[in-house]
Amino acid sequence: MDWLAAIPSQFESIVLLLAVLLVKRVLQTIAAHNPWQFFQFFCLQLANKVNKAENGQSQQSISGFVAVIVTFTPLWVILWLFADFVAIPELWQGLLLYFALGSLTLVPSAKTISKALRAGDNYKAKQTLKRLVLRDTSQLSAMGLSKATIEALIIKHMQLTISVIAIYLVGGALAAISYRLLLEMHYAWNPKRSNMMHFGGFVNALSQLITWLPSRLFLLAGLLLSLGQQSTLLWRLTLPKIFQLNNDALLQFFAIALNTKLAGVAMYEGKKLRRIEFNPKGRAPDINTISQAYQFIGRINTLLVILVVSYYVFAWAASQSLS
């Protein structure tokens, strides 16, 4: 595309990213849609076919590993080969990035839940939250709905936006869509589902490994914004969880930063799953805590944008001085 040719190569990926974010936000505002529904359906049907309850734990784990390979590999090869047949590479890259990025309506959804809770309409809050989480929402109180909403904001934003953008900037659109394929398999085969505990173990570990660095960069940006505000406590309590392949470090950090309780017992398929409760001495989450959460996430996003743009500017300036 001629207009892209005039832009320094260091900024091409940024320009394309901003264009895709704008288009996706507009289209999602006009009509909510989930382009991954068919793939999710396929993953669930595949698991029903090969993940048998009578199989042993090791056999279920092996089946899960094979399912990832046979699902991911042909799709990746097709996407990789198809790029050579596209006349305008930027459009193909933009399309892949569009599908790789998750929903950009997390904050509007959180606002809808807050508004429903304020009006005492717990049913609407539960139905809105149900689209964002795997857990059962039917029995949640106003406090439980607030807590689950905050956790969804943190984890979904990190997985579906921060991680996708980070992988795109480092490895390109094909790497981003490859990550999203694995993440959707993880969602379908989440070990929190009783019949997926072993079958989904491999893709769960793989997705956690891939998102480890982006989530830690997101966390460090939050720590930078918290300097002078109990930052020593935040760092001391979060550091032991930094190298764990899970979301505990993020939830621990936000629980302390927002002075609220997060995680704890949750219901999945009618069964209680006992999880670690972070900051148990904090205040109970409520409507105000939801708004504080997405406002804090917004400030972290702003800082990350400044850091990324600054990096590209310095890289471009360095290349100019060397040439």
- State the Cα–Cα distance between residues 179 and 238, nearest whole angstrom: 26
Residue pointed to by tokens 């979301």: 247
pLDDT in tens, 259-316: 999 998 888 877 888 888 898 888 999 999 999 999 999 999 999 999 888 888 887 7
Q: From residue 122, give the alpha-carbon distance in Å to each of 105, 125, 154, 195.
A: 20, 5, 22, 30
pLDDT bracket for residue 1 (50, 70, 90) = very low
The answer, yes or no, to whether residue 321 has pLDDT greater than 70, is yes
The model's pTM: 0.91
pLDDT in tens, 128-150: 999 999 889 988 999 999 999 99
Q: Which two tokens stand for residue 228?
A: 């002078």
Beta strands in the chain, from DSSP E residues, in sequence order: 262-263, 266-268, 271-273, 277-278
The DSSP secondary-structure symbol of 274 reads -
The answer, yes or no, to whether residue 184 has pLDDT greater than 70, is yes
Q: Where are the domains of the chain?
A: 10-322
